Structure formats: structure tokens, C-alpha cells
């Protein structure tokens, strides 16, 4: 496997992540309507509340777009199942746990939970709708179950 500090002969699992298009369309629509309000306010000399509403819509659109970006980045993760460790990378963050400390890897609703031997949750990885339907997720759970059983 390639990548920084990835265990040798580790199997890489990366689930597909949907881009939140509906929310991004909402954000862009809000910003476009707000921009038009500001332009019409300046060109036609409309009342000040049109300017305030336009700026507010632009800020709402930017806020929605930023929240979409943050949520999308949090849902992107890669799991490496190696012979001695399970490694999770999220962006530039990397966490590693030896198999001797792993009690179970299972799905809990829309999250992939990695539990230690005492049953305490060590990691909870968000799985979106496209990832939950992916065969990769089932392969990851099966590979982890094989390692924890050994």
C-alpha cells in the first residue's frame, strides 16, 4: 500500500461518499437571489431592507456551503486492515489500533463502530447512504471480523 505510515500488506477500504448536491444547490440559489437583491437595491434605489435581506441571503448561502463542505470532509475516511493493526485516516489525521485491543467492528445504524475488548467505542465512522449500500462496507466488516476472531 502507498501512503504515509501505512502498514505493509494492509487491505485498503474506502467507501463512496455522496456530495450533498441538494444542499449545495440550496446554498447557491440563496446566494444568487441575495446577489440580485443587492444589485437591484443599488441600481433601482430600493429600500434598505432589500439590501439587508440580500446580504443575509448571501451569508446564509455561504454558511450552508461551508457546512456542506465540513460534513462531506468528515464523512471521507479510509480504513487499512493490516495483519497486526487497523488504521483509520481522515484527511491528515491518522489513528491506529492493534488487533489485540479490538473487540469488535460492527455497524450501529449509520456508523461503523470499532469497539475495544471492554466494549467501549474507540471509533465511530459515519457511513452515508451510498456507503451503506456498498459492497466495500460488508467486505470491511468481514475482514475485521476475521481479524478479531483470530
Q: Which of 1-5, 15-19, 90-94, 138-142 has the highest mean pLDDT?
A: 138-142
> Does 110 or 130 have the greater pLDDT score?
110
CA proximity to 122, closest of 139, 144, 143, 91: 144
**Quick one: pLDDT at residue 45?**
92
Cβ proximity of 137 and 81 under 8 Å: no
The Cβ of residue 98 has, within 10 Å, a number of other Cβ atoms equal to 10
The Cβ of residue 88 has, within 10 Å, a number of other Cβ atoms equal to 19
Give the mean model confidence (pLDDT) for residues 42-54. 95
DSSP 16: -
Written as nine digits, the cell of 77 is 475516511
Give the mean model confidence (pLDDT) for residues 83-88. 88
Tell me the pLDDT band of 123, cut-offs 50, 70 and 90: confident
Amino acid at each position: 500500500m502507498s501512503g504515509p505510515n501505512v502498514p505493509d500488506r494492509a487491505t485498503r477500504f474506502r467507501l463512496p461518499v455522496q456530495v450533498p448536491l441538494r444542499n449545495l444547490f440550496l446554498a447557491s440559489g440563496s446566494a444568487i437571489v441575495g446577489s440580485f437583491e443587492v444589485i437591484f437595491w443599488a441600481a433601482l434605489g430600493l429600500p434598505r431592507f432589500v439590501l439587508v435581506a440580500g446580504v443575509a441571503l448571501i451569508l446564509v448561502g455561504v454558511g450552508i456551503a461551508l457546512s456542506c463542505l465540513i460534513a462531506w470532509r468528515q464523512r471521507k475516511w479510509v480504513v487499512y486492515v493490516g495483519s497486526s493493526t487497523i488504521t483509520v485516516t481522515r484527511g491528515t489525521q491518522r489513528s491506529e489500533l492493534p488487533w489485540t485491543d479490538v473487540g469488535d467492528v460492527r455497524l450501529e445504524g449509520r456508523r461503523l463502530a470499532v469497539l475495544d475488548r471492554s466494549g467501549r467505542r474507540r471509533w465511530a465512522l459515519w457511513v452515508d447512504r451510498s456507503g451503506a449500500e456498498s459492497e466495500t462496507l460488508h467486505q470491511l466488516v468481514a475482514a475485521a471480523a476475521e481479524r478479531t476472531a483470530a
